[in-house]
Amino acid sequence: MDSGVRVYLGKSQERKIFWQPGKEKNPHFLVVGTSGSGKTESLKSIVHELRAQGVPSLIVDFHNEYSDIAEYRINLRELTINPLEVAAGRRPQDVIYEVASIVKKIFGLGDRQESMLRSAIKDCYTDQGIDILKEAEHDLAAPPFMKIREQLEKGETATNRGIREALISRIEPLFEVDIFFKENTAIPFEEIVRKTTTIELKDFPTEDVKAAIAEFFLNKLIYYLYKSGKADRLRVYCVVDEAHRLLYENSPLDRLLREARKYGTGIILSSQRPSDFSETVLANAGGILSLQCNLEKDAKFIGKQLSIEPADILHLTEPGLGFVKLSSGAETSKVKIDPLEGRLTEEERQQMEKAKKKITDLPSPPVPEGADQRRPPEKKRNKLATTVLIKGLFSLAYGLFLAVVVGWLNIGQAAEEPVFLFLAGIGAVFLIFSLAELLAYYRIRKRPTRRTGIRKIAALQVPFLLLLAGLTPLFIVLLVIGLVLTVLVVIFSRTPRDVTKKEKAGR
């Protein structure tokens, strides 16, 4: 690999310290340090130096902190990934094991749950007539990721119900995340590896979902690199902050560390604790930068790798001040990383502002033949939550009106008492409905994937509304309002799985 890239880190006393990836045993670089030690700013400085020398970076950004140095910003909610997609030259069986392994690790599945997940993914392929043992001659239009849940529910029996329900409940957040709705991956790698790009993950609902999406993204990056072929020059860096989330044996990130160099790709990893990296990873890094580590055991761990005393690490109090050791040299240098702000000229600041653009300005990759193009609007979840809230308040007001105003306040009038008792009873039923709907609203807001049962609750109210519609014109108006809200709940709670079932029924 070429040695032309020369990254200025900072000063050690009056001497400038440079990291030259091409002169190290490999181009990978690690940054460790506790919160507030200057990790993020140090990474930004390194990414800026790489970009200035024509080497872009692809940044996996869990907290959306790197947008100020990016030329492209990808909010993956606007694009799609299908983890079940099979690239040319691969077998679906390999994908089955890869996807199941990633989900198992992130969501803490047991062996039997992983086995059930593999079986469900296998059925997704076989139902589409795909031979899982046959090597793909071209990119396959694989089944959408959402199909996995259908297969899990289809395969339920009395003996495995408990395990399947626990599995579905645990991985449920994956099934309605917008990014998995399509059959094809719509990420233009050809474009984003040419410019410094952030992959923004902050907006996804849970930490597990963020980690899963990051892993699937890195997996797609690996196969893009395979397809691009080997390179003897440094083409791009993959930067992962909080790398401990994704680094374990045989993970996509672990594979990148082992194989990326052959494809002209370097890896920069950052984490708060050095023990998040195995001694093997630390020993094989081309460079290590340690900022302050507050815990003594962390200071001992990284001090051993840098051949310095743990106290030296513990006593680093200034952000950006740390120790760096490169594989090309025997010594460890104390260095003050120059912050990004001090590196930029006014012209560079203006160029960075002009260069920023949303990824929607880029062309999407070609869609495999036969791929499903449906993707429900992302705003549908918010509309569902709002409609369910209004429906719950409507049921609450309706129930109080019947139970209190019409019912209980008039009980005692002997001639009409049975009618009023009946209305009070209906009012009590609507109060129960309102409680269920307001609880559903809370669950949808807290966990966007939770829609189970809301359509049934809305539908159950219709007979009661019809029953009362003949009493007075007021109840007819209330019937119309209730029906409109019920229809909206049904529309906004529809998922791609519902659409697929309807299409199958019509065939």
| CB-CB neighbours of 111 under 10 Å | 8
Domain covering 7-73+188-361: architecture: 3-Layer(aba) Sandwich (3.40)
Residues near 24 by beta carbon (within 8 Å), at least 6 away in sequence: 286, 287, 326, 327, 328
Q: Are 6 and 20 in contact (CB under 8 A)?
A: yes
pLDDT for the residue 408: 55
pLDDT for the residue 180: 78
Euclidean distance between CA atoms 123 and 482, whole angstroms: 41
Measured in residues, the chain has a length of: 507
pLDDT for the residue 11: 92
Q: Are 7 and 21 in contact (CB under 8 A)?
A: yes
Domain boundaries, the chain: 7-73+188-361, 92-174, 380-505
> What are the helix (H) ranges across 293-411?
296-306, 310-314, 340-343, 346-355, 380-400
358: helix, coil or strand?
strand
pLDDT for the residue 354: 64
127: helix, coil or strand?
helix
89: helix, coil or strand?
coil
Euclidean distance between CA atoms 447 and 451, whole angstroms: 9
pLDDT for the residue 240: 94
pLDDT for the residue 496: 42
pLDDT for the residue 401: 79
**Tens of pLDDT along the chain (507 residues)?**
555 899 999 999 889 999 999 999 899 999 999 999 999 999 999 999 999 999 999 999 999 899 888 888 887 777 778 889 888 888 999 999 999 999 999 999 999 999 999 999 999 999 988 999 998 887 777 888 888 988 888 866 666 788 888 898 889 888 878 777 766 667 788 888 888 999 988 888 888 999 999 999 999 899 889 888 898 889 999 999 888 888 888 888 988 988 899 999 999 999 999 988 887 788 778 999 999 999 999 999 999 989 999 999 999 989 999 999 999 888 899 999 998 888 888 877 776 666 555 444 444 444 444 444 444 444 556 777 788 888 888 888 888 877 776 655 555 554 456 767 777 788 888 888 888 888 887 777 655 444 446 777 777 888 877 877 767 777 788 778 888 887 887 776 654 444 444 434 443
pTM of the entire structure? 0.70
